[in-house]
Amino acid sequence: MAVTERLQHRAEQLAAALPPLLVASERVAATIAQGVHGRRRVGLGETFWQFRRYQPGDPVRMIDWRQSAKTQAVFVRETEWEAAQSIWLWRDASPSMHYRSRKDLQDKSEHADMLVLALASLLIAAGENVALLGTGHLPTSGRMAYNRFCHAVLAEVTETEGLPAIELLPRHGHVVWVGDLLAPLDDIKARMAAYVSRGVHGHLVQVLDPAEETLPFKGRIRFQGLEGEAPTLIGRTDTVREEYAERMTTHQAGLKDLARIFGWSYAVHRTDRPPQTALLALYMALARIAGS
């Protein structure tokens, strides 16, 4: 009785601490989970996948006798492939993520957190092992793993660097980086290379505010960075808009090239779009790579 009470108490505490972000990410994850199922591949697992004609060489114990008895042919039962992957998620917690250009938008960091949490929720529901990169946790699965992940994400950590630290991960692990990825391309490349050299697959999700793509400002503006960069004064911001957009496109193209070179995936998410889209794309990419 006392144990149950304590547990209940903790559960309540946890529920009370559950911020709206967590709820939102759960909701986002739920919409995705309805659309995507499993690995969609034949493999080792519990879940029934398909019946197939018996072919010579198949183990006899794979034959589904009940199904075979219904028809003339002999069928074997195949189950869905259900191998657990270890996936390290990372989201940018640097000050530059705390930005929104309009009041009706959310901060970039909120979107990044939501994406990471929802993805973790999905992955854990699918039986994968998940850990937050940079915490030193080992990827684990199950409800408790999700709780731990939530705590890690929601802990007030402020990184100064917009890129994940280099960590020694096991081979064939997966990493998902969610951030604005505005660091110089060379830095990003070096960091990615460090991971790729260990055989780690990766996915880049660039979270951007619409203003960062379009630079919608006008007039004389003194721009100040969020991470202590030197300010710069631009006399007529509207005149440099195109050039800026060009630079941004170049940067994004560079990222895309990097991803292609290293065999990673790359997606852009803008904070004025619903996170479901990005999550779906990310999840599909994960499923594809994991399946390959």
Footprint of another protein (CB under 8 A): 96-100, 103, 107-108, 180, 182, 184, 209, 211-212, 217-227, 229, 231-236, 239-240, 243-244, 247-248, 251
d(CA 189, CA 156): 28
Give whichever of 69 and 230 is closer to another protein, judged by the CB atom: 230
Give whichever of 45 and 254 is closer to another protein, judged by the CB atom: 254
Give whichever of 187 and 257 is closer to another protein, judged by the CB atom: 187
Q: Which H or E run includes 30?
A: helix 20-35
Q: Classify each residue of 5-39 as buried b or exposed e, where b means 16 or more C-beta atoms within 10 Å of its C-beta.
A: eeeeeeeeeeeeeeeebbebbbebbeebeeeeeeb
CB of residue 38 to another protein, shortest distance in Å: 38
Q: Which H or E run includes 178?
A: strand 174-179
d(CA 140, CA 50): 29
CB of residue 217 to another protein, shortest distance in Å: 7
CB of residue 243 to another protein, shortest distance in Å: 6
Q: Output the six-digit token pair for 68.
A: 């075979």
Burial of 79 (0-12, 13-18, 19+ CB in 10 A): middle
d(CA 196, CA 190): 10
Give whichever of 181 and 280 is closer to another protein, judged by the CB atom: 181
Give whichever of 243 and 257 is closer to another protein, judged by the CB atom: 243
CB of residue 182 to another protein, shortest distance in Å: 5
CB of residue 4 to another protein, shortest distance in Å: 13
CB of residue 19 to another protein, shortest distance in Å: 16
d(CA 212, CA 167): 30
Give whichever of 229 and 291 is closer to another protein, judged by the CB atom: 229
d(CA 138, CA 130): 8
Residues whose CB is less than 8 angstroms from the CB of residue 42 and which lie 6 or more positions away in sequence, other chains included: 49, 50, 78, 79, 80, 81
CB of residue 231 to another protein, shortest distance in Å: 8
d(CA 64, CA 44): 16
Give whichever of 147 and 239 is closer to another protein, judged by the CB atom: 239
CB of residue 208 to another protein, shortest distance in Å: 8
Give whichever of 65 and 223 is closer to another protein, judged by the CB atom: 223
